[in-house]
Amino acid sequence: MKRLLIVVSLATFMWSCDASSTGRTLTGPTLTSSPPTSPSPTSPPPTQPARRTYTLSGVVSEVTANGVAPVGDVRIEAWVCDGPNCAIYLDLVTLSDSDGRYSIPGLWVGLETGLWVTKAGYDVAGPRPSSPCDGCVRLFTASGDTQLDISLIRR
């Protein structure tokens, strides 16, 4: 029964596609071969203009009963923002070494830089910026290599 249904369905389909009943000539698809084409060249993605950069470096220390002592493993993060709504930015992070020294190369000259300094059990000494910078401890603009020493206070 199943075979009969398939045969009848196939015959009906073929009859409905009969070219002689409509006066049209049926043709199959035409295959053409053309040489492969290279993809059209596209514009390269826009690149950022070359920027002058500087290095921010310094020493992180704390004042103790025995004098000034370096503090290692302090996380120092610098954020530089450019363009409307901070469309282009840099976020560079480093840790101070056992002598308290740190260095962050590649910051952009002439743009405001926010600095965050964190280590469990410590606060940064000195006043915070008065302008909003999402909790940064320093806000500055540099025109060249800059040394910024950071003093911590143990909580």
71 closest CA partner among 47, 41, 43, 102: 102
**Span of 6-15, 41-50, 64-73, 121-130 with lowest mean pLDDT:** 6-15
Q: What is the pLDDT of residue 152?
A: 97
Q: What is the pLDDT of residue 31?
A: 38
56: exposed, middle or buried (Cβ count in 10 Å: 0-12, 13-18, 19+):
buried
pLDDT at position 66 over 80: yes
pLDDT averaged over every residue in the chain: 78
Q: What is the pLDDT of residue 46?
A: 61
pLDDT at position 99 over 60: yes
Give me the phi and psi of 20, to 5 degrees please.
-70, -30
Q: What is the pLDDT of residue 131?
A: 75
Domains of the chain: 56-154 (2.60.40.10)
**Span of 19-28, 39-48, 87-96, 104-113 with lowest mean pLDDT:** 19-28
Average pLDDT over residues 47-58: 87
Q: What is the pLDDT of residue 108?
A: 95
| 77-90: pLDDT as tens digits | 999 989 888 889 99
Whole-number Å distance between alpha carbons of 51 and 81: 13
Whole-number Å distance between alpha carbons of 122 and 105: 25
Whole-number Å distance between alpha carbons of 135 and 113: 13
| 9-40: pLDDT as tens digits | 434 434 344 444 444 333 333 334 444 444 45
Q: What is the pLDDT of residue 1?
A: 44
